[in-house]
Structure 1
Amino acid sequence: MSHNTIAINQRMDQFDGHHRVWLFGYGSLIFKPDFPFIERKPATISNWTRRFWQGSHDHRGTETAPGRVATLIAQPGAVTAGMAYLITPEVFAHLDHREKNGYLRLATDIRFEDGGSELGLVYIATEDNAAFLGEASERDIASQIARSHGPSGANRDYLLDLAQALRELGMEDAHVFEIERYLTEMRE
């Protein structure tokens, strides 16, 4: 699958006719929602784990020196914490462009921290997309992140902003916090 997934995402019709849809964010959407939303609240999704295995050629890196950003990897029993946004379908065009570097819209059950759940959507970059970098140690990921910079800024800032946002929300993520630890050591 190519880097650019806009056309594929535009064909997803599961939420056509809906006036409002819940969107689950687990990476930069937690701390940088650059779109209008009706409501925002902490939430989780099950059977997925957050990993910095996706390459960023368009935001936090370049074509020749990609950064690393978060995606979700299937893992039975795992729970990933993030932020849910109630949006209107008009926001999809913006999100499809923002997440075009290999991310696909998928339907998922979103569980809210304050109780209840809704079927909503999440953008996930699966391993069959051209920008997928795959598994690496947290130390190696931190090293790549430390060197990467793209049109949206330093890759380091993305990781550090995500770690800070997770802490502020009282959410745990050993993978993110371990990468953060290595990044901090590299700075010192």
Structure 2
Amino acid sequence: MTAIRERRQAVIQPSEARMFGGRGMALTDALVSLSLRPEADSGPEQNRTPLTEAELETLAMRLLLESGAGPLWVFAYGSLIWKPDFDAIEWQQGAARGWHRSFCLKMTRWRGTQSQPGLMMALDRGGLCNGILFRLANEDRLGQLRRLIRREVGSIEDAATVRWIPVATADGLVRALVFWAGPKGERVSRKLPLETVARVLARACGHMGSCAEYLYLTVKHLEERGIRDRNLWRLQKLVADELVAIHGLTEAAGNH
């Protein structure tokens, strides 16, 4: 992958722009390892219509035309931060106003199963989401859009969550592509208490890993880039507490 250049510091709300004082995460590698177990891939989720190659190409062409001649920015707020699937040439922090991170999507594949469903993170309406803007290389822009769609959009129903949003940066607003923004349908459960979410994340695991692992990697990489999402920070502590209780550990033992 092309080396990514940090462009500049983004605008972050004053309440978030602070040093974190050495407070470590409660959710650790050791605790996350307890959430992992082998699971078979059960195949496409029920009531989802897999995206065909022709439909993927149509969506990619549409996004290519909509991207125009200027820079193509992708707004990453979750796994795209720590597991990107594109050729980025620079990054900067950005704030998506009117959106917030939410574990609101029930999933029975990837990081969950039919018997132990998980919750996937998406962007939901309201609030503010501090994240990372990646600028894609101009070379093979269509090919990179195909890769992103193949990774992020598994079904026709999911295609509606791909959108362009304004993101605030230190130099003003940029238009950025985002995935899983404003999901709808029977899988969506909004405004779940964090305690309920934590119980799910601590227990759900699929063939791609556990929900606790996903949360851990997201919080860890946000912290490394100077971003603290207050809800996720509280959630990682709740998930750590759940894992300690599930496995009959003391809190101290769980941190080693």
TM range (shorter): 0.7 to 0.9
Q: Distance in 2 between matches of 1:172 and 1:149?
A: 25
The alignment partner of 2:162 has SS state of strand
* Larger Cα-atom Rg: 2
The alignment partner of 1:124 has SS state of coil
Structure 1 spans left out of the alignment, 5+ residues:
none
**CA drift at 1:59:** 2.3
- Letter of the 2:104 counterpart: W
Report if the CA contact (8 A) 2:219-2:228 is conserved.
no
- Paired residues in the alignment total 184
1:65 maps to what in 2?
116
Q: What is the TM-score when the length of structure 1 is the normalising length? A: 0.84
Relative distance call for 1:153 and 1:48 in structure 2 (3 A) is same
Residue of structure 2 aligned with 1:52, choices 94, 97, 103: 103
- Letter of the 1:106 counterpart: R
Report if the CA contact (8 A) 1:54-1:132 is conserved.
yes
- Letter of the 2:133 counterpart: A
2:162 maps to what in 1?
105
Report if the CA contact (8 A) 1:57-1:131 is conserved.
no
Residue of structure 2 aligned with 1:170, choices 226, 229, 235: 226
More helix per residue: 2
Structure 2 spans left out of the alignment, 5+ residues:
1-46, 245-256
Q: Distance in 2 between matches of 1:119 and 1:61?
A: 33
1:51-99 deviation line (CA, Å, top 9, x unaligned):
1112233321134433112111111xx2211111112332222221222
Which piece of structure 1 moves more, 21-30 or 33-42?
Answer: 33-42
**CA drift at 1:158:** 0.3
Q: How does 1:1-188 map to 2 (within 5 A)?
A: 3=48, 6=51, 7=55, 10=59, 13=62, 15-16=64-65, 18=68, 20-75=71-126, 78-87=127-136, 88-101=141-154, 102=158, 104-112=161-169, 114-188=170-244
Q: Distance in 1 between matches of 2:108 and 2:144?
A: 23
Report if the CA contact (8 A) 1:4-1:100 is conserved.
no
Q: What is the TM-score when the length of structure 2 is the normalising length? A: 0.63
Runs of at least 4 residues off by over 3 Å: 2-9, 17-20
Q: Distance in 2 between matches of 1:63 and 1:91?
A: 32
Identity %: 23
**CA drift at 1:119:** 1.2
Please give the root-mean-square deviation of Cα atoms over the aligned residues, in Å.
2.5
